Amino acid sequence: MTMQSATFNRSQSHDNATIDSSGIEQYSIARSLVLHLLPGVLVVSLYVATAPLAMQWGFPPTLAMMLGTLLILLAFELGHLLWEGKRRNGKWSLEGIVLNRESMPIRQYLIWIPVFVIAAYIVYFLTVPLDMVLIGLLSWLPKWFVLTDVSQLAQYSKSALTITFWVYLTLNGIVFPIIEELYFRGYLMPRLSRFGRGAPVLNHLLFTIYHFWTPYSYGTIFFGVLPLTIAVWWKRNIKIGIITHCALNIIGTLLTFGQVLGS
């Protein structure tokens, strides 16, 4: 079998996907929707199923969400990347699977990362009214589902909160951003490149919706992080996405738990 026929067969085996001018396999809309959104469906389903158990054991539902998210991100997102790497390379490798690996001068990281972090938090404060509207529309959800209500954490013991804090800081601050950026910006976004400048917007819109466990924060997630997604696309550099995503989540974790643990 020739290289050309192998490439053709490989593209046809994935929902009649095509190859763009750069040689990157393009996924169908149906497949893109499934790969973007199914992990979020699994996360929120596991969260809803296990949160009552965590509270029964004296821990915040946040801990259940973290552990459930870890399971899904490892099994589905990272697992899918490794499986695709195995299929393509014959070994457990992300070569040719996770793209957007072009280098960038260190000074640009030092400039742009603080800019994106500050911009995201400015957007966060500007979109608080929108979040409140969404929370009102979602008032039928159980109170424990709304993770922005820090006052709910005060009912738990200091030891339970301390354990939850360190788990949250490690997973949400470091592990999850790395896996999500590899999966969404390094893997899925290039497979939408046929949409040109619309690719990062579409990718980020689906990434926003994927957060089914925080639907009241859709405005903040979309508008606050969209510039970062566009930057990853523009610079073809996933590292700026990973570092900024980690920084945003670490700062958010410290601000959230600092209000409770510091009191």
Residues 213, 69: Cα–Cα separation, whole Å: 10
Q: Which of 7-21, 43-57, 215-229 has the lowest mean pLDDT?
A: 7-21
In a domain, 17, yes or no: no
Q: Three-state SS across 2-31?
A: CHHHHHHHHHHCCCCCEECCCCCEECCHHH
**Three-class DSSP labels, 183-241:** HHHHHHHHHHHHHCCHHHHHHHHHHHHHCCCCHHHHHHHHHHHHHHHHHHHHHCEHHHH
pLDDT tens figures, 13-49: 444 458 766 788 999 999 999 999 999 999 999 999 9
Per-residue confidence (pLDDT) for residue 15, from 0 to 100? 43
Residue 151: pLDDT above 90? no
The residue segments making up the domain with residue 195 are: 35-261
122 pLDDT higher than 70: yes
146 has pLDDT over 80: yes
> Please, are residues 17 and 84 in contact by the beta-carbon 8 Å criterion?
no
Neighbours of 231 (CB within 10 A): 21
CB 67 within 8 A of CB 241: no
Note whether residue 231 is domain-resident.
yes
Residues near 259 by beta carbon (within 8 Å), at least 6 away in sequence: 150
Tokens of 63: 């801990």
Domain count, the chain: 1
Higher pLDDT, 108 or 2: 108
Around Cβ 135, how many Cβ atoms within 10 Å?
16
Please report whether residue 23 resides in a domain. no
Q: What is the pLDDT of residues 183-210, one digit of tens each?
A: 999 999 999 999 999 999 999 999 999 9
> In the numeric block, which tokens belong to residue 252?
């958010």
Work out the number of other CB atoms within 10 angstroms of the CB of residue 127. 20
Q: What percent of the chain has pLDDT over 70?
A: 92
Is 243 within a domain? yes
Does residue 79 lie in a domain region? yes
How many CA atoms, within 13 angstroms, populate the side-chain half-sphere of residue 112?
22
Q: What is the pLDDT of residue 263?
A: 64
Note whether residue 219 is domain-resident.
Answer: yes
* Sign of the four-CA dihedral 164, 46, 68, 213: negative
Burial (CB count <10 Å: 0-12, 13-18, 19+), residue 71: middle
- The answer for residues whose C-beta is within 8 angstroms of residue 76's C-beta and 6 or more apart is 38, 39, 42
Q: What's the pLDDT score for residue 154?
A: 85
**Is residue 14 a part of any domain in this protein?**
no
Please indicate, yes or no, if residue 25 is contained in any of the structural domains. Answer: no
Q: Which two tokens stand for residue 119?
A: 């911009």
**Tens of pLDDT along 242-262?**
999 999 999 999 998 888 887
Q: Which residues contact 160 (CB under 8 A, 6 or more apart)?
A: 58, 59, 60, 63
Quote the pTM value.
0.90
Torsion angle of alpha carbons 48, 50, 53, 57, nearest 10°?
-120
β-partners of residue 237 are: 101
DSSP state of 100: -
